[in-house]
Structures are given as C-alpha cells and as structure tokens.
Amino acid sequence: MTDRVIAIADSGRAKPLPKMGVLRAAGPLADTLGRQIRDLRISVTDRCNFRCTYCMPKEVFGPDYAFLDRSKLLSFEEITRLARIFYSLGIEKVRLTGGEPLLRRNLERLIEMISSIGELDLTLTTNGSVLAKKARALRDAGLKRITVSLDSLDDRVFRAMNDADFPVAKVLEGIDVAHAVGLAPIKINMVVKRGVNEDSIVPMARHFRGSGHILRFIEFMDVGATNGWRMDDVVPSAEVIKMIDADRAIEPLDPNYEGEVAGRWRYKDGSGEIGVISSVTQAFCRTCTRARLSTEGMLYTCLFASSGYDLRSMIRSSATDAEIAATVAAIWRTRADRYSEIRTAETARERKVEMSYIGG
Ligand code: SAM
Ligand code: SF4
Ligand code: SF4
C-alpha cells in the first residue's frame, strides 16, 4: 500500500495513513511515551438537541450549520468491525458518545453488536434528555453503566447552559429510570465554568451524596475552536475540592486503575464518592490510553487534535482486518500527544476539531 492522503474530512484535516512497510510485528501496543492503547471512544453522531455554550455554541451551531451527511456516517456494521479490530489490539473499554448518542436511531442495536465482541467494558455518555425513555432498552441490549451530564440543579442556570431551554427535572428523571433498571454505577458529569455555575457545586454535591451515583466535576476545557475558552473561566479542581470539603469532609482515594481520568475523593462519613477531572490544571497525558473514532470514521489520538486518520476509506476499500489493524498499530506507535501538558494561551487559540464531532 502506498502512502496516501485521504480526502479532507468535514472537520479536521486527514493525515496520511502510514505505509505498510512501517508496520511491525505484534507485541505490546505502546506509543512513543510508553502508553498502551486501552480505551476507544466512538462518536455515533455529531448532532445534538442541546447547545451547551461550552461545547456547541448556538452562534456557530445554528439552524444553517451543516452536520455530516448520512452517507458519511459509519454504519453500525462498520463501527462494530472497527471496534473488533481495536479489541484485537488490546482495547478493554468502549465509550459511545457524540454529539448526543441517544439521538442515533436504534442505538440499542449497536450496543448489542459491540457487546458480542468480547469482554469489553461498554458505556455511554449522554445529556440525559431522552434517557427516561431509552434506559430499559439500553440495559436490555447489554449496556452495564452510564454517564449522564448535568451542570446544575438550578433550573434557570441549567436551561441557560444547555441553551435549549431544557429542564433539570427531565434529566433527573432519566437518572432515576437508569438507576431503577440497574445501570450502575451512574456517573454524573458537571462542567464547571467560572461565574456561570460555581454556585451549583455544593448543591450538586449535596444532592448526589448518598445516592450511590458518582458526581464528577470537569474543568472547562479549550476543546474545539468555538467555545471562547479563557483560562479565567476555569475553576481549578483544587478549588472545587475545598468548597466540598468545607461542606462535608472528604479524603483522597487511590485510582481504580492506572490511567483513570478522574481524581477520586470520598466523604469521610461514608456517604459516597466524588471525582474531579482536572485536564487543565493537572494534566494527565502521561497515562492517557484513549483513542477516538469520529462519527465518520476518522481516528484521533488526542481530544485536542487538529487532524486525524481516515479509517473509513480503508474499511470501504478492500482492506482486510489484518491490514486495518496493522495501520492502527502503526499510528498508535508513532503517537506523541500531550496537549494538556503543553497548553498555553497560544495553543488554546489554535484550530482544533470540535468535541461534538470527535466525541467527548
Ligand atoms: N452529549 C453527551 C453529553 O453531553 O453527555 C455526550 C457528548 S459530550 C461532548 C461529552 C462530555 O463532554 C460531557 O460530559 C460534556 O459536559 C463534556 N464537555 C463538552 N464540552 C466541554 C468543555 N468545553 N470542557 C469540558 N467538558 C466538556
Ligand atoms: Fe450536546 Fe453534550 Fe455538547 Fe452539550 S456537551 S452540546 S449535550 S454534545
Ligand atoms: Fe490524552 Fe490529549 Fe487529553 Fe493529553 S490532552 S490527556 S493526550 S486526550
């Protein structure tokens, strides 16, 4: 196979796929910094019914925004084939995301298909808007656990942040139904933005304390190129921890596994656990084992990438599974990404692929 540049994708540039000659024999699949490939995040749609100001601001993702054409999306068969190939390379965990993954029709079918691949930790991140309706079908299809995003319990604040006037109550109902059908543990993601929802931190912690759900506070990140990120808008996790500790004492916990993204804390009185995802103030690139597959089959080796590798063209050609696996392996072996460790005000302004496209 010759070195070739595949057509530019709708979002982000395509890098040349490596030559077969560069491929090496099987062995532990580690990148240039010794990080093994372990997780695959799959974006199943670039569309969303929310317009969270930190992710898909309305001014950019307005009524005229051109989302990907259906023909460009990977089919469930194509996604499953790629997931199987990644599994053969050592992936242990798959997360379905987007955009809003529950907007992809018949997603349960994809969950069934991926579940049949093997011993995979399969999960999904959702804004919870249609979770009450879908939780049971997702569980029946083989989903074990779920992450739901919720930025505030204050209806006014939440409606403003999702910018779709969507009420808190419906997301809470989705969480309750997910819990009732046995999706556990449920993780709740709260993006914290200075001056926007800081006042929601302690009420959120109080609400989920003792529920068995794990609330995780995420630092506002400079993903994409449209969310107007400024360092001043980031509330460092250390500040969040201090606020919660002042309300009810907490202490740090060891990570569940090497490379866990969230720093873990527990209430000293035994009423549960919280997490902080400090991608801005305490970068965790050193242990980053995640690959990302976009809705149209581009492979990205970092959330902050500006270009990826077009795997869709390979699977729509006559390439065999072994050839695709060898190509992915060659890509991973040359990976050197560590964006969060080298972030500056300059890099924050660089053009990057949008999170709704690459998958959060
Ligand atoms: N639509 C689903 C949802 O919101 O859960 C899945 C996709 S979303 C891109 C995945 C996660 O990324 C969500 O928890 C969301 O809050 C988070 N996220 C999006 N933009 C972010 C940003 N600028 N900084 C930090 N987290 C962000
Ligand atoms: Fe949609 Fe999720 Fe992005 Fe919000 S964070 S706009 S729910 S994709
Ligand atoms: Fe991984 Fe890139 Fe995030 Fe670093 S910046 S943790 S390499 S996705």
What is the domain partition of the chain in residue ranges? Answer: 14-358
pLDDT in the model for residue 102: 98
Vertex 251: Cα angle to 246 and 252 (nearest 5): 130
Give nearest CA residue, ligand 1 atom 12: 360
pLDDT in the model for residue 24: 42
Backbone φ and ψ for 315, nearest 5 degrees, come out as: -75, -20
pLDDT in the model for residue 4: 30
**Ligand 2: lining residues by beta carbon, under 6 Å:** 48, 50-52, 55-56, 98-100, 127, 149, 356
Atom of ligand 2 nearest to the CA of 99: 8
Ligand 1 centroid distance, CA of 55 (Å): 7
Ligand 1 centroid distance, CA of 53 (Å): 11
191, 220, 233, 235: residue to mutate for ligand 1 pocket, most atoms within 8 A of CB: 191
The rounded distance, in Å, linking the Cα atoms of 354 and 360 is: 9
Considering every ligand atom shown, identify the ligand nearest to the alpha carbon of residue 289 and give its number.
3
Considering every ligand atom shown, identify the ligand nearest to the alpha carbon of residue 98 and give its number.
1
Ligand 3 centroid distance, CA of 106 (Å): 31
Say which residue the tokens 């509330």 belong to.
235
Ligand 1 centroid distance, CA of 323 (Å): 33
Looking at domain 14-358, its CATH class is alpha beta
Within 8 A by CB and 6+ apart from 331, the residues are 17, 18, 299, 301, 309
DSSP tally for the chain: helices H, then strands E: 11, 13
pLDDT in the model for residue 258: 77
Atom of ligand 2 nearest to the CA of 49: 1
Ligand 3 centroid distance, CA of 289 (Å): 9
Residue 2, number of CB atoms within 10 A of its CB = 8
pLDDT in the model for residue 25: 45
Alpha carbon 223 to its chain centroid, in Å, reads: 12
The answer for 220, left when phi > 0, alpha when psi is -120 to 50, beta otherwise, is: beta
Q: Is 63 exposed, middle or buried (0-12, 13-18, 19+ CB in 10 A)?
A: exposed
Q: Is 26 exposed, middle or buried (0-12, 13-18, 19+ CB in 10 A)?
A: exposed
Ligand 2 centroid distance, CA of 238 (Å): 25
pLDDT in the model for residue 356: 83
Ligand 3 centroid distance, CA of 313 (Å): 25
The rounded distance, in Å, linking the Cα atoms of 225 and 357 is: 12
Residue 40, number of CB atoms within 10 A of its CB = 26
Ligand 1 centroid distance, CA of 227 (Å): 12
Considering every ligand atom shown, identify the ligand nearest to the alpha carbon of residue 56 and give its number.
2
Q: What is the pTM of this model?
A: 0.93
Per-residue CA distances from 152 to 16, 161, 190, 191, 204 (Å): 43, 9, 7, 9, 7
Torsion angle (degrees, nearest 10) of CA 23, 25, 28, 33:
-30
CB 273 within 8 A of CB 281: no
Residue type, 160: A
Give nearest CA residue, ligand 2 atom 8: 99
Spell out the per-residue pLDDT of the chain, length 360, in tens: 333 323 333 455 688 887 643 444 456 799 999 999 999 999 999 999 999 999 999 999 999 999 999 999 999 999 999 999 999 999 999 999 999 999 999 999 999 999 999 999 999 999 999 999 999 999 999 999 999 999 999 999 999 999 999 999 999 999 999 999 999 999 999 999 999 999 999 999 999 999 999 999 999 998 888 888 999 999 999 999 999 999 999 999 998 887 788 999 999 999 999 999 999 999 899 999 999 999 999 999 999 998 999 999 999 999 999 999 999 999 999 999 998 998 887 787 777 888 888 877
End-to-end C-alpha distance for the chain, whole angstroms = 32
CB 28 within 8 A of CB 255: no
Write down how long the chain is. Answer: 360
pLDDT in the model for residue 196: 97
Within 8 A by CB and 6+ apart from 72, the residues are 10, 295, 296, 312
CB 331 within 8 A of CB 301: yes
pLDDT in the model for residue 214: 97
List the structure tokens of 116.
């049949």
pLDDT in the model for residue 352: 80
pLDDT in the model for residue 140: 97
Residue 335, number of CB atoms within 10 A of its CB = 17
What DSSP state is assigned to residue 270?
Answer: S
**Ligand 3: lining residues by beta carbon, under 6 Å:** 279, 284-285, 288, 290, 302-304, 337-340
Atom of ligand 1 nearest to the CA of 151: 16
pLDDT in the model for residue 12: 57
Backbone φ and ψ for 292, nearest 5 degrees, come out as: -130, 135
Considering every ligand atom shown, identify the ligand nearest to the alpha carbon of residue 97 and give its number.
1
What is the full DSSP assignment across 210-230?
Answer: TSS-EEEEEE----SSSS---
Give nearest CA residue, ligand 2 atom 3: 55
CB 231 within 8 A of CB 271: no
